[in-house]
Structure 1
Amino acid sequence: MNDRSLEQSNIDIISLDLGSFLAGELPFQIIDVAREVLDRKIEEGQLRGAFVQGFGRDLHMHLSTYNGDLQQADSLSVSSQAALAAGLKALEEAQAMGLGSAEAEKISSLPPHTQATVLNLRSLNFPYTERGAEPIFVAKAINASWGFFNRGLFNLFFNPDKGSGRRIEGNDFLGIVESIEDLKSNKPEVRTFEFAPGYVNDMIALIADADEWRLSRVYAVRGKFGEGKLSEEPAAAVSGSVDPVLIGRSQSGLPAIGEFTQAAGEFFFAPGGENGHYRVGLMPASFQEAHTLSSSPGTARVVAYAYQSYDRGRIPSEKDVVDVFAQNRAETSRVQREAARLISHMVSHDRFEPYLNPTAAEECALRELEKLKGRFETIPEPDGLIEATNQRVSFTLSDIKADSGGKVGHTSPPNHFRSVAEASLQEAKALKLIHGTSELIEVGDDGHLLMSHAKGADNNEIHLFAYRTFFRQVWVAETLGYKWYGLGQDLVGEASAGSTTEELANLTDEFMELLEEALPAAERRQVDRLKEAYREWKGGKGKGHKPLEVFSGNVSGQGPGFAELPLMGAGRIGLLAMDKTGPSAFNLPIWWSLNRAHRDGSLRRHIEKTGGKGVVIEIWDVENHKRGFLDLETEHLSIQNLLGAIEKLNIKRIWSRTAEEWDPARTQESLEEILLAASTEKLAVITGGEYRGKDDPVLLAVEPLAQALNLFMRDRFYLTQGDGRGSHFMFPTPLAFQDAIATINSRAVAVSAWITMDTSGEIRGFHDEFADPIYEAARDRAYELNKAIWDAQGGNFIPVGVGSSKVEQSYPLAQTLARITAADSEFVSKRTVSHVAPEELVGT
């Protein structure tokens, strides 16, 4: 050892899972026994200090050594062996008390390396050269996982909105980031990257996804601490697969103790729960609270302590080790209440994302699909089920929608789009293609054509009419030289390739006459330009316009979305539509509403009118263009497991079942009425039945289901992917149609309507449901909780921010991550983080 290392002290935090072998929490008596073992090690000169607690299921041992005492011995090995001896003695005491399980009795006869493995020994080594004043801060997150502390560490050292050390003292830091996949796999070489000041954006691209990357070490590079010999020692470190531990040094060029406390106690969501598969919320806890086993789902109890190191690593008496969150009970209680409120909303997602992380949700769905092998088949075209349904009904209600362009960004459609659509609808009515009543709806930047007709669902004439209508909007804009944002962005696809806008719009004399009457004043003054362009095209003189390449940031090449409900007769139909979300936004609301309507009997009363005996869910595997049919009553759990993977599987339709018993082999003979239809796929005329990405969804539903959906939006809160750039999880705010524009924060928005149909299939009423003042409380809740969760996650960290697999591929995040993590990346770390297997620490 060199002189410098001889002057170093070490903190080794060793955790042993004793609780799994005991019937409950760790008794104080066995903790005292472990403490006695370690006190003897101090007397023998092996350790400088020992602080022992029972936190959750762990015997938590904070041990300190001084290299000058150890000579050539390794600190972490010395501490691990001492800790294992203390843990075994504690287990022996538990057995004497009659608390140990049969498995606990066998542990004493195992070799040390096996004992370490069985007790899940986890360690953190933290070397430091003691300064004149050396405050040490430690936090442990119970029920958390690998990357839990990413957000807290980022706030503490890199976030300019937190703390004042960077501004007042000129401090700056370097972060070391490790691959969690490599850590889990125990790879001998873990991918490790370092980010110096000025590269925080690159670092956050990794650590915001705390399922994949862990911010493991922080070093000072500027300021009192970073410009001396101590700069090679970590300012903070994190370790642990389950119940991870954070340790840091404080003051004099490093964050103050109060700033550490804020970072460890301020709320955020991060990975945790069973196998680290969930999003758990930070709940500050005192020693007493952390000692007690908790069954609160979705909760990571963070216990913290601090002390002043002295005499080269000694720990003061237990009375002078500060129980951080027991100090100011008034403040801690307030933070705990707010944490409990936010956690309750996350837990309410149950087996759905984002409470369940995407990988776990998809693995669960894939296991379920394997069980249902053969039940999911390629979606036929034409669809015999739909054709048979069309034969049984009187008329069909269709909502076909597209984002053809926005006034400024993705806000609302240009003024003339409505007039163009009105002219097109008038032409369709005159041709008897659709019935005499229709509605034009605008939801954010999407325009919806709501119309009834006798053509049935999935009808090419109806779809082609809507397709042409949207291209007519584009043609007017192009001809007049307007540069609307994302013009025609939902219309660029295989069907439009190589064609001119005029051809795709199918311009006619009748449409041009109706258009002149319908146009707003500003465009009517330019109608001669439109007429001239039409004459030139019709006469074969004009070159025509090619559909513009999409220049907006969102997904392109998808085509309009649609929901169609074939109907038996008159009644009230509900519509729910969203902007700044994807089809996955409907999974949880539909599932919750379906179960509610089933439980309260309203759905059964409805289906019994047409001889219905049960309910069947049509689920689409959107990536593979397959579908399966599952019975609500007999396959309830399977449906939930599938729908939890919200980006992979979506509800397309809900059907009534006429057969007394569900037989998947006789699906076609068993299904009768479509109770709900959602825009899971794209307009067939554009994509040939192929699903191509996200969509701002719409659904139509019979009254019992629509009523339950409205109640969900009124009384509940959930998170779905969408928002600005489609890259955040937020709650879609229920709004009146006139307010349904994402403005201040570009949040997702939702609208609802009741549509009254008469016996002839005409629309006789259209009621804006969310305009009712009864939804004011829901709006307040949405704004408040969206902001609280956004602030907690900084707009970037999961589960508000999303990982690279969920970000739109037109954004450069995927390329950024590839650049950062390449083998020859400039960020490959020059510093190594030591990872020693437990069996190596304690010997054989």
Structure 2
Amino acid sequence: MKSTVSVIKADVGSLPGHVKVPDEMLDICRKDLSKGKEDGVIKDFHVTNCGDDIDLIMTHDKGVDNEEVHGLAWNAFQSATKLAKKRKYYGAGQDILKTAFSGNVRGMGPGVAEFEFEERPSEPIIVWAMDKTAPSAFNLPIFKMFGNPFNTAGLIIDTKMHPGYKFEVHDIKKGRKILLKCPEEMYDLLALIGIVGRYVIKHVYRADDEIAASISTEKLSLIAGEYVGKDDPVAVTRAQSGFPAVGEELEAFVFPHLVPGWMRGSHQGPLIPVSQKEATPTRFDGPPRVIALGFQLNNCKLEGPGDLFDDVAFDESRRKATKIADYMRRHGPFQPHLLPEEELEYTTMPKVIERLEDRFEPIE
């Protein structure tokens, strides 16, 4: 039997503003998923949040894009939305961009990261959740995990990893994808994934085609045609025994690199690795956060989680991120703190500039 891990997230309400999902909304989702487990739709689940996003972590044996599983998640988000509207929580139903469920949640607002595989004798996985940023925020750390030997020693000394990995990259603006092999095509890969806002890593495979990672790549503004909120991506990775060690995967987030998002989805800021307790972004609606929850998969049962960034070893990363945030904020409305013009296309900025169009005159 193959096991499937599905991580589906959505922002359907928060308090105050964009800070934290109320506990009662998480409880409603737990109730819905408990019913799904009783009915045999899923084998196990864990409901959590990163900032204002609800993250549904589910295991089952039905494969990816399963209508029953996605429908269960959709209904849980609908239940939470109903309560959010009743309580007048901020952004109630924000990520629910369609009214009718159509078989799976792709293209409907929620973000999805899922994969199917045969469980090993011991199967460690890590579920990653971000808040106040975009799918491209995963590009650098995922590359470090599976493509950079200065981060992941296993690429050099583990015979199963030594042949390298294959990266499935999506061009989210043109709706196309490409598969690039590393280390052979590393430079081609880097030429793409360094361009934020367009190219994002969706899946990573070992050289023998064994799935290693899945990342949500849904871009809300491209679905809705306007800015409706930050994408706040999720990911799930396998670890140990032919994959990067848990510590190697966590190491990829030690450097708080700059990512798009933050306030109004319009600014660059450092990605801070935090414990779940600290995933409550308040400074300028940020800075962007990432949490890491570690599980052992046991015949589709989730053992855990461990809060992997709840470690003093990441304190220096958090201090550095705070200093970077100070530096970026001092730019105010100027680039590079403000995103480039093309990245502001789906925010409210074009409407502001449009008001000035009639006042422009030709330069003599």
Match of 2:127 among 561, 570, 575: 575
Match in the other structure for 1:696: 232
CA distance in 1, matches of 2:291, 2:67: 28
1:733-752 to structure 2, matched below 5 A, reads 733-746=272-285, 747-752=287-292
Q: What secondary structure is seen at the aligned counterpart in 2 of 1:770?
A: coil
- Equivalent pairs counted in the alignment come to 347
CA distance in 2, matches of 1:706, 1:682: 28
- The residue that corresponds to 1:644 in the other structure is 194
Tell me how far 1:808 sits from its aligned partner. 6.1
Q: Distance in 1 between matches of 2:347 and 2:328?
A: 26
> What is the match of residue 456 of structure 1?
63
Are residue 676 (structure 1) and residue 213 (structure 2) matched?
Answer: yes
Deviation at 1:409, TM superposition (A): 1.1
1:616 aligns with 2:153: no
Amino acid at match of 1:412: K
CA gap of 1:657–1:493, structure 2 versus 1, over 3 A, is same
Matched residue, 1:469: 76
User: Does structure 2 retain, via aligned residues, the 8 Å contact 1:725–1:808?
Assistant: no
What is the CA–CA distance in structure 1 between the aligned matches of 2:23 and 2:219, rounded to whole Å?
Answer: 25
Query: What SS does the corresponding residue of 1:620 show, helix, strand or coil?
Result: strand
Shift of 1:694: 5.3
Q: Is the 8 A contact 2:256 2:270 kept in 1?
A: yes
Equivalent positions of 1:36-75 (< 5 A) are none
Q: Distance in 2 between matches of 1:438 and 1:713?
A: 26
Please name the residue that 1:661 is paired with. Answer: none
**2:307 maps to 1:755:** no
Question: 2:248 maps to what in 1?
Answer: 708
Work out whether residues 596 and 708 of structure 1, in 8 Å CA contact, stay in contact via their aligned partners in 2: no
User: Superposition pairs for residues 713-728 of structure 1, below 5 Å?
Assistant: 713-714=253-254, 716-728=255-267
Of the candidates 73, 78, 92, which is equivalent to residue 487 of structure 1?
92
Q: How does 1:187-336 map to 2 (within 5 A)?
A: none
**CA distance in structure 1 between the partners assigned to 2:155 and 2:61 by the alignment:** 26
One-letter identity of the residue aligned with 1:786: A
Instruction: Compute the displacement of 1:768 (Å).
Output: 0.3
Contact 2:281 2:289 in 1 (8 A): yes
Instruction: Return the offset for 1:598.
Output: 8.2
Secondary structure at the aligned position of 1:713 is classed as coil
In structure 1, stretches of 5+ residues that fail to align are: 1-392, 498-556, 659-671, 834-844
Cα distance in structure 2, aligned partners of 1:800 and 1:677: 29
User: Is 1:408–2:16 an aligned residue pair?
Assistant: yes
Amino acid in structure 1 at the alignment position of 2:131: D
Instruction: Map Cα deviations across residues 605-625 of structure 1 (whole Å, 9 max, x no partner).
Output: 77839xx94421101011122
Counting only pairs closer than 5 Å after superposition, residues 106-125 of structure 1 correspond to structure 2 as none
Distance 1:425 1:606 in 2: 39
Matched letter for residue 355 of structure 2: R
SS of aligned partner of 1:564: strand
TM-score when normalising by structure 1: 0.39
Aligned equivalent of 1:815, options 342, 351, 355: 351
Measured after TM superposition, the shift of residue 777 of structure 1 is 1.1
Check if 1:801 corresponds to 2:353. no
| Superposed structure 1 runs of 4+ greater than 4 Å apart | 597-601, 603-607
- The Cα of 1:432 is off from its aligned counterpart by 1.1
Q: In the TM superposition, what whole-angstrom CA distance separates every residue of 1:119-161 from its partner, at most 9, and x where no partner exists? A: xxxxxxxxxxxxxxxxxxxxxxxxxxxxxxxxxxxxxxxxxxx
1:164-179 to 2 correspondences below 5 Å: none
Which whole-Å deviations, capped at 9, do the CAs of 1:330-360 have from their partners, x for residues lacking one? xxxxxxxxxxxxxxxxxxxxxxxxxxxxxxx
Q: For 1:531-610, what aligned pairs fall within 5 Å after superposition?
A: 559-569=109-119, 570-597=122-149, 600-603=152-155, 608=160
Q: Deviations over 1:278-309 (max 9, x none)?
A: xxxxxxxxxxxxxxxxxxxxxxxxxxxxxxxx
Structure 1 residues 459, 598: CA separation in 2 closer, same or farther (over 3 Å shift)? Answer: farther
Alignment check: 8 A CA contact 1:597 1:705 kept: no
Which residue is equivalent to 1:443? 50
> Which digits, 9 at most, give the CA deviation of each residue in 1:693-745, with x for residues without a partner?
9510111112217533421322x231110111011100121111011011133
AA paired with 2:267? H
Which is richer in helix? Answer: 1
1:809 positional shift: 2.5
**Which amino acid in 2 is paired with 1:419?**
D
What's the CA shift for 1:772?
Answer: 1.1
Deviations 1:496-527 (A, max 9, x none): 69xxxxxxxxxxxxxxxxxxxxxxxxxxxxxx
Aligned position for 1:298? none
Deviation at 1:799, TM superposition (A): 1.1
Q: 1:805 to 1:761 in 2, by over 3 A?
A: same
Q: Give a deviation string over 1:442-497, Cα, whole Å, max 9, x none.
A: 1000011112111112222111110111001122344xx32111111111226369
Point out where structure 2 has 5 or more consecutive residues left out of the alignment.
none
Identity percentage of aligned residues = 29
Within the alignment, does 1:398 sit opposite 2:10 as a pair?
Answer: no
When Rg is computed on C-alpha atoms for both structures, the one with the higher figure is: 1
Contact 1:594 1:705 in 2 (8 A): no
Whole-angstrom CA distance in 2 between matches of 1:599 and 1:399: 26
Higher relative contact order (CA 8 A, sep 6+): 2
Give the whole-Å Cα distance in 2 for the aligned partners of 1:755 and 1:600: 20
Alpha-carbon distance between aligned partners in 2 of 1:464 and 1:397, rounded to the nearest angstrom: 15
